[in-house]
Structure 1
């Protein structure tokens, strides 16, 4: 990767971004029509309903998980904007092939510590553009890079100095070169302006306090509001916060799940970005089983290419999840070289697949797909690759 800091290189980058932005078709609607199914946003209670198909066999709800896109990485070079274009191609291929009803952005949507601008929402909007252009609703949560402080590139201090276009030497404005970045709250305010977004602010007393919320998927039956599944979204920190799911977040989950699902009769799945310590435990068990005991494990996946980079501490969230028989699976990103699902207690711990061309690693890109069926309930998953192939199919719940 060659990094250029010349004025001409910067303007080439701006030209690419403007052309990209101009050619994105933005469609806003509260309804998404797909194969006889209708997905409607009910703003009053933040419910989703899959309707049509009669609620019987053949009705399903499909979700695509896009993880670690890292838009805006090395934005001042020729390399960076090209990676964003490549990431858009991956998402477009997955969306056109799978035709999902819903998309989850699983954190590290942007690489804010590489963004020398005050408004990172410009790159966030690019990241969600393939989904929005296809009129597909989505929800997002934050990763450790989304609001990370800007990091000055070393080559800006070489003989060529800081590119003048980015940091005018004679500017009278004291904060022009400070690059304070865009906070989680600012990114969220921009996100929820989209009528297709189901993303929500979290309760103000939670730390981390932004992307903590729950969505209810209603039964395909149109004559009642029977919940088919609950989807919890949690902010696992990073950037301006410690990389944890805090004790107060765990208490929020306990109270919310007891309120919505007191008898644990409704299946539940959970999304956050940075894996918990339990992922480390599962990975070690697999290694011991495969290397020493030579016995087959039940893990499903094609990539076991790096160690688990877990949260800084475990503060009770996993204990709560294991005590709820209704929790079927947890889905995370963060590790670009892992895409497995492994059983843990009575649930599954799953990684998504690295979707974006930004960030580290040269592994092939793709996305994890979830398929939820009702009556009877089932949860299936597989990986859809950029080249169109499918692998690692697994039944997570029946």
Structure 2
């Protein structure tokens, strides 16, 4: 065979290999795994509210401040994983054709640092645009700057399109720009209109093929439909947990946005000091729970492998309180958008698999301080 024939054959073989890789589709993300020290650390970012009052000077300044909060927490804690715990955007204030532009900004701090993440939906993420009453005054509609849409439009961009962006569209856009780091999922079609319903396994460091932690993510509604975890989601949870963890040997954590009615039952009196057995520093409002309870809390409370539930939604709360044999925790208001002027921060959760399994948590503030340390894996509450 002549030299040029050899090179041609090699080129054809290389092209065939490339085409084969393309046909196989994108590679699956690397599995989540406990670090060599046997620990797995999560940072929970709740209620970022990007895009709020985008037509004012105040709104973009709040988004800049939210960028700084997440950067400070990520650089101080160096987590293995980030959970975006709902209300990433204030869609009812977003006058753009695609709220995923702001959604993308919200997840960019984790993406830039190569930290994998997951998202759940909050009640503001797909709300329809709310027209400010003052826009109908003699002053009229103020100048509104709308960044270009994320996807190409079939016709010239008409400017601002005042509409919400559906949950599926937001999630699809996130996955398209994830660089292999997002572990979010649209979830089963039978659970719609709820979208962010999925479970993630974190593999053991000591036994590389065995899961040492299960994390369940649930859509608690709001925005385009009522704030509720449905009976169908309860059935799905039973099915998943029985399949993945039939003997309850693997510890489990649960994440959604709007607190269940169980949070009302254990809540310290609003504006009072948080006292044991609860742990926290912020207790400035009443719990704003889901509109109904359709069995999820009963399912979780009777499952000893479930150690804690984490929610956002209430900006003025950051406590953890025991309920039955698990813990109910709020995150910490992370974004500078949204109501309240309390200092911003994030809840950190560190899981250890060595010797005796443990879950420890604390609040990391924007200024670098930490507080409200609590062990969430206690077998007894005192």
In the superposition, the TM-score normalised over structure 2's length comes to 0.85
* Contact 1:207 1:249 (C-alpha < 8 Å) held by counterparts: no
Segment drifting more, 190-199 vs 143-152: 190-199
Does residue 344 (structure 1) correspond to residue 323 (structure 2)? The answer is: yes
Structure-2 residue corresponding to 1:8: none
Does residue 185 (structure 1) correspond to residue 168 (structure 2)? The answer is: yes
Aligned mates of 1:231, 1:183 — CA distance in 2: 25
Does residue 132 (structure 1) correspond to residue 114 (structure 2)? The answer is: no
In structure 1, the residue corresponding to 2:243 is in which secondary structure? helix
Aligned mates of 1:133, 1:346 — CA distance in 2: 38
Dislocated runs of 4+, deviation >6 Å: none
Unaligned runs of 5+ in 1: 1-40
* Contact 1:301 1:392 (C-alpha < 8 Å) held by counterparts: yes
Does residue 207 (structure 1) correspond to residue 187 (structure 2)? The answer is: no
Residues 175-254 of structure 1 correspond to what in structure 2 (within 5 A)? 179-193=162-176, 194=178, 195-221=180-206, 224-254=208-238
Structure-1 residue corresponding to 2:370: 390
Aligned mates of 2:275, 2:365 — CA distance in 1: 25
Aligned mates of 1:296, 1:100 — CA distance in 2: 29
* Contact 2:120 2:218 (C-alpha < 8 Å) held by counterparts: yes
* Contact 2:197 2:217 (C-alpha < 8 Å) held by counterparts: yes
Aligned mates of 1:326, 1:164 — CA distance in 2: 54
Does residue 48 (structure 1) correspond to residue 55 (structure 2)? The answer is: no
* Contact 1:139 1:197 (C-alpha < 8 Å) held by counterparts: yes
Q: 1:42 to 1:219 in 2, by over 3 A?
A: farther
Structure-1 residue corresponding to 2:13: none
Q: What is the aligned residue count?
A: 341
Structure-2 residue corresponding to 1:32: none
In structure 1, the residue corresponding to 2:327 is in which secondary structure? strand
Aligned mates of 1:163, 1:341 — CA distance in 2: 43
Aligned mates of 1:110, 1:391 — CA distance in 2: 27
Q: CA deviation at 1:50?
A: 2.7
Aligned mates of 1:287, 1:209 — CA distance in 2: 32
Q: CA deviation at 1:396?
A: 0.5
Aligned mates of 2:160, 2:109 — CA distance in 1: 32
Segment drifting more, 190-199 vs 229-238: 190-199
Segment drifting more, 109-118 vs 128-137: 128-137
Q: CA deviation at 1:125?
A: 1.1
Q: CA deviation at 1:371?
A: 0.4
Which digits, 9 at most, give the CA deviation of each residue in 1:65-92, with x for residues without a partner?
0000000000011000000000000000
Aligned mates of 1:265, 1:135 — CA distance in 2: 31
Q: 1:78 to 1:267 in 2, by over 3 A?
A: same
Aligned mates of 2:40, 2:311 — CA distance in 1: 20
* Contact 1:103 1:137 (C-alpha < 8 Å) held by counterparts: yes
Q: CA deviation at 1:163?
A: 3.8
Aligned mates of 2:276, 2:374 — CA distance in 1: 13
Structure-1 residue corresponding to 2:245: 261
Which digits, 9 at most, give the CA deviation of each residue in 1:103-152, with x for residues without a partner?
00000000000011121111111111111111111000000000001000
* Contact 1:207 1:246 (C-alpha < 8 Å) held by counterparts: no
In structure 2, the residue corresponding to 1:387 is in which secondary structure? coil
